[in-house]
Amino acid sequence: MENYPLDPNKVYYSEDYLSLDTGEGISTMRIGEWLNADPVRIHRMIVREKNLHVDQVEVFNPLVSKLRRADPLYYKKIMGLKVMIDFPGYGSDVEAKIPFDTDPIGFYKWWRKNKHENLVWLSAGNQFRLFQKVSLMEPKIMLKKDLDFVKNF
């Protein structure tokens, strides 16, 4: 099969071919097939390495959906506070960032005390911001390990 090296100046669509080194040699597939074969690698090339440019509607949106099923932990990390959650006081699911920003104490209790850490992944920076706000507002509700985290950050 013909070789289709990555062209960083091209915007790729699902039917476009791309050749990548898989560790077992060069493999060539359509972008749409790469989304199924290795969604995490494709996502990293788009978001972290920024050397693969794709159509938002035709490629990127389906990719995010595939990541949820292919690698739930990676998906949770990339979504972070953008993940939709069922948070008390809201009639429907809400982006985690909203209660994180507007109700840090309520979010802390929901996230840490109600054991919802598995639903929303917080980076070390976001943990620090949350724990710092809560420690200034209501330190008595915090777990010792979280108070120590703020002190040692």
Q: What is the pLDDT of residues 121-143, one digit of tens each?
A: 999 999 999 999 999 999 999 99
CA gap 65, 4 in Å, rounded: 26
3-state SS assignment for residue 46: helix
Q: Among candidates 28, 20, 15, which has minimal Cα distance to 44?
A: 20
Q: In this model, does residue 58 exceed pLDDT 90?
A: yes
**Is the domain of 21 the same as that of 60?**
yes
Do 85 and 146 share a domain, yes or no?
A: yes
| Same domain? 53 vs 107 | no
pLDDT above 80 for 55:
yes
Asked if residue 59 belongs to a domain, the reply is yes
Number of domains in the chain: 2
Query: CA distances (Å), 134 to each of 1, 24, 99, 150, in order?
Result: 58, 50, 13, 10
Q: Are residues 148 and 84 in the same domain?
A: yes
Do 147 and 128 belong to one domain?
yes
Task: Indicate the residue type of 88.
Answer: P
Domain of 85, in residue numbers: 80-152
Same structural domain, 35 and 86: no
Residue 4 lies in a domain: no
- Percent of the chain scoring above 70 in pLDDT: 99
Pairing of strands 84-85, 17-21: unpaired
For the entire predicted model, the pTM comes to 0.74
Q: Which residue from 80, 77, 96, 79 is spatially nearest to 88, judged by alpha carbons?
A: 96
